[in-house]
Amino acid sequence: MTDKPYLILTAPVVFEEEIKKSHFITYLAHTPGIEAAKQFVSDIKLKHADARHNCWAFVAGRPDDSMKWGFSDDGEPSGTAGKPILAQLSGSGVGEIAAVVTRYYGGIRLGTGGLVKAYGGGVQQALKLIQTQEKLMTRFVTLRCEYAHMAVVESLLGAFGAVQVDSEFSHNVKMTLEVDARRVDEFKSLLVNRSGGQITFPDAE
């Protein structure tokens, strides 16, 4: 359900470890959208241009929206880096998140199983360190009312945690509000009921 809230990061996370002399650095960041995710990957690649590999994956929208997923092995054997990173991200229940795992090679080969464990494991450890907040899905509701019904609107604003985005005052009042998407229908019906049908929604006319 696209109206359902999901978790996003409140701050970036870095996790470092050494595995058989290879130095792995895992970066996680909140990236709202594919462009933001790609920019984050580019920034880390630039920061660690001297590293052997900068493997990455992202879940750039809702956690379950696979249309906004991406990954790369960045030169590691196919399937050993990008997919394990993505598997950790997509299984975390966190949305709008990107991970880059930088590897400085230490001279000892890890083998395909070892690489999968190193890249997936680094992200798994980093995910234990994250702090998240809930991202609400909201919708805009435009209403028109008489000045006499402003008190009704304001009381419901507070009750629903809705936010006033815009307002126009003329012979009556036109307001645009941002409301939790899951409660829009309930919000509208209460406005209509409490105003005796005097509050209307011009967008729906």
Per-domain residue ranges for the chain?
Answer: 6-134, 138-204
- Dump pLDDT digits (tens) for 85-141: 999 999 999 999 999 999 999 888 898 999 999 999 999 999 999 998 888 788 889
Which CATH number does 138-204 carry? 3.30.70.240
pLDDT tens digits, residue range 32-82? 999 999 999 999 999 999 999 999 999 998 888 889 999 999 999 999 999
From residue 30, give the alpha-carbon distance in Å to each of 139, 142, 174, 204.
22, 31, 35, 35
* Domain 6-134 of CATH type 3.30.230.30: yes
pLDDT of amino acid 204? 56
pLDDT at 205 > cutoff 50: no
Query: Are 6-134 and 138-204 in the same CATH fold?
Result: no
| Residue 181 contacts residue 124 (beta carbons within 8 Å) | no
